[in-house]
Amino acid sequence: MKIRLNIALLAINILTIILVLVISFFPNVVIRVVLGLPLVLFFPGFVLLAALFYRKNSMDTIARTALSFVLSIAVVLIIGLILNYTAWGITIHSVLISLAVFIVLVSLFAWFRQRKLPDEEILAADFDFNSWGKQKLRSRVISVILIAVTLVTISILANTIATPKRGEPYTEFYILGLDGKAVDYPSDIKMGDTGSVILGIINHEQKVTDYSVEIKIAGTINGDFGPITLKPEEKSENEVSFTPQAVGDHQEVEYILYKDEQSEPYLNVHLWINVK
């Protein structure tokens, strides 16, 4: 069975558009992985080879298929590297759109290069595997090596997807000024007045976590905040106030974070105030 290049390129472009739409609108992780594999691991390399080696006898089908996997990974890595230095960054949508644009543009270039070739020279995918025995020994060795590299690469990728490495659990704990920026903290306060900051907590503990905060001024407890329960990757930012109890310069206002009702402090942040 033979499939002409223009038909294969048209099919790949249609499938690419369908896969981008499905992956974008169906956030299920399993669906994204299953449908994203050909989009990431095969289509980019196939269209690139079609643009570079567009004549019928430039490469046999088995070698072309195996090399498509290898080149696809290289293309994805290069696109990811470029996106990392753009305003879009590396997100699932930026990668999907970039891959789709690459596939469409390179497909058009491949079609443009082969459009004037005579029929007998136009590239077609030949799935007659009985021709394997007719190939030269060197071609068969190269094909086997490419297939082995492809299988190893796919196995490593599948294992990475199935068992992703989890980072060390931690919590972000910070204070901001009332405008939500890391500036304009209260510094000079009159005795009897109240100072306020925004207290931020982000849970990266990979589990639901309870937090509470103790406020101290010059080592003396001045108030508390919480408890507050956060889900994994959930953020909390709340305005928290303190009231100085004594006049004096360079007094430390300390916010001490406790986790899961533990008696030992987990994190702490502080600022300095002058009380007149």
**In the predicted model, what is the mean pLDDT of residues 29-35?**
65
- What's the pLDDT at 96? 83
Gyration radius of the chain's alpha carbons: 30
CB 43 within 8 A of CB 103: yes
Within 13 Å, how many C-alpha atoms sit on residue 21's CB side?
Answer: 6
CB 269 within 8 A of CB 173: yes
Is the pLDDT at 24 greater than 60, yes or no?
yes
CB 16 within 8 A of CB 43: yes
SS (H, E, C) 111-173: HHHHCCCCHHHECEEECCHHHHHHCCHHHHHHHHHHHHHHHHHHHHHHHHHHCCCCCCCEEEE
Choose among 65, 64, 7: nearest CA to 38. Answer: 65
Its CATH class, for the domain covering 170-275, is mainly beta
Is the pLDDT at 252 greater than 70, yes or no?
yes
Tokens in use for 265? 């402090």
Q: How high is the mean pLDDT of the chain?
A: 80
In angstroms, rounded to a whole number, what is the distance separating the alpha carbons of residues 224 and 156? 49
**In the predicted model, what is the mean pLDDT of residues 92-116?**
85
pLDDT band, residue 258 (cuts 50/70/90)? very high
* Tens-digit pLDDT profile for residues 73-82: 888 888 888 8
Give the domain ranges of the chain. Answer: 2-162, 170-275
* Tens-digit pLDDT profile for residues 187-231: 899 988 999 999 999 999 989 999 999 999 998 999 898 899 999
* Tens-digit pLDDT profile for residues 113-147: 777 767 666 665 554 545 555 556 666 676 677 66
Around Cβ 241, how many Cβ atoms within 10 Å? 13
Burial of 94 (0-12, 13-18, 19+ CB in 10 A): middle
Within 13 Å, how many C-alpha atoms sit on residue 37's CB side?
Answer: 12
